[in-house]
């Protein structure tokens, strides 16, 4: 699969090594201690549910996808969803995880993104409960996004999302997403 950034003026060849190789690279980087003293990896809460790797070039920062037209954002989101579904053994979860699941999203690139770049928006949106189509009073149909159904919502009350960056060799661009069970339902709602 050739991945290109739909917002780029000139398409460039993707640095995406493929799912299995990207997973091995990410595992090697995350198994080692953090490369910088400023990197703080969050503590693991609960048990592991599911994880995947996504090309970093599809995880656009907010200032980049806000300047693009809607179809380009939808196309990027659908590509992320396609890559995630390739690593999933079912289509969509029947019910979201109970309580307040913990989500770890780490960007492995040679250059650090801005702290407020919000590059994890599309991958996190892809694991939220899917919404169905509904019609408005005027008869128009509002299409809602697809999702894998792990989270009820990505707000602070329903999920605990931790994002950070770690350095990777030049030319490597991987985003790793891991879902953990997190806190129990009775603790999450207090």
CA distance linking residue 48 with residue 58, whole number of Å: 25
Burial class of residue 156, CB neighbours in 10 A (0-12, 13-18, 19+): exposed
d(CA 112, CA 75): 25
pTM higher than 0.75, yes or no? Answer: yes
Predicted confidence at residue 133, as pLDDT, reads 59
Looking at residue 79, what is its pLDDT? 92
Q: State the pLDDT at residue 180.
A: 96
How many residues comprise the chain? 190
Closest by alpha carbon to 127, among 179, 176, 172?
Answer: 179
Q: Where are the domains of the chain?
A: 19-30+43-188
**pLDDT computed for residue 190 by the predictor:** 46
- Residues in Cβ contact with 72 at an 8 Å cutoff, skipping those fewer than 6 apart: 6, 7, 65
In tens digits, what is the pLDDT along the chain, a chain of 190 residues? 555 555 555 555 566 778 889 999 999 999 999 988 889 999 999 999 999 999 999 998 887 777 777 778 888 888 999 999 999 877 678 889 999 999 999 999 999 998 889 999 999 999 997 765 556 667 666 655 678 989 988 989 999 999 999 999 998 999 999 999 988 665 544 4
């Amino acid at each position: 699969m050739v991945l290109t950034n739909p917002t780029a003026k000139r398409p460039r060849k993707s640095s995406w090594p493929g799912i299995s190789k990207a997973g091995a690279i990410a595992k090697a980087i995350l198994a080692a201690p953090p490369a910088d003293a400023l990197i703080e990896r969050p503590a693991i809460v609960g048990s592991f549910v599911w994880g995947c790797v996504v090309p970093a070039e599809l995880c656009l920062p907010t200032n980049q996808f806000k300047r693009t037209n809607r179809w380009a954002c939808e196309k990027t989101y659908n590509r992320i969803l396609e890559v995630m579904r390739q690593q999933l053994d079912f289509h969509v979860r029947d019910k979201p995880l109970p309580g307040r699941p913990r989500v770890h999203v780490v960007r492995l690139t040679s250059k650090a993104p801005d702290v407020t770049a919000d590059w994890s928006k599309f991958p996190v949106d892809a694991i939220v409960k899917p919404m169905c189509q509904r019609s408005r009073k005027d008869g128009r149909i509002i299409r809602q996004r697809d999702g894998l159904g792990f989270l009820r919502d990505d707000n602070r009350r329903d999920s605990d999302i931790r994002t950070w960056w770690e350095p990777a060799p030049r030319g490597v661009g991987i985003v790793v997403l891991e879902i953990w069970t997190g806190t129990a339902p009775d603790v999450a709602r207090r």
